[in-house]
Amino acid sequence: MKQALFVGIAGALGAICRVGIGKLFVGSPDFPMATLTVNLLGTFILCLLSAGVIQRLTADRQLQTAITTGFLGSFTTFSTFSLETVTLLQDGQVMLAIVYIAVSIIGGFVIGLFGMKIGRKMVSA
C-alpha cells in the first residue's frame, strides 16, 4: 500500500512537470515538440538512473519504483506520441509524421545510450 501511494504521488508530480513543459511549447502547433521533449528527456533520465545511479541515490526499492514507474511513467507518454502521429497523418502531414517517428525512435535510442554511458561513469566514479 505504501508503494502504491509513493507511485501515485510521484506520478502526480511527473504529470504536473509534463504539463509545465507542454506550456513552454504552446506556440508550436504544427509539430508535437512538447511530447518529443518529455519523451526524450524521460528516456535520458530513465537510462541514466537504470545504469545504477538510482541505487546510489537511494536503496529504498519503493522510492526507486516511485521515481521510475511513477514520476517518469507519467512524465513520458507513448499514447500521446501515437495519437499525435495519427493526427499528423490524418491531416496529410506525412513527412512531418515520418520526421516525428524517426526523431522519437532514433533520438530515444541515441539519448538512451548517452544516458546509460553517463550513468555508468557516475556509478564507477
| pLDDT tens-digit readout, 59-117 | 999 999 999 999 999 999 999 999 999 999 999 999 999 999 999 999 999 999 999 99
What is the residue type of 13? L
73 is in an annotated binding site: yes
Measured distance CA(45)–CA(37) in Å, rounded: 12
87 is in an annotated binding site: no
pTM of the model: 0.92
Domain residue ranges in the chain? 2-124
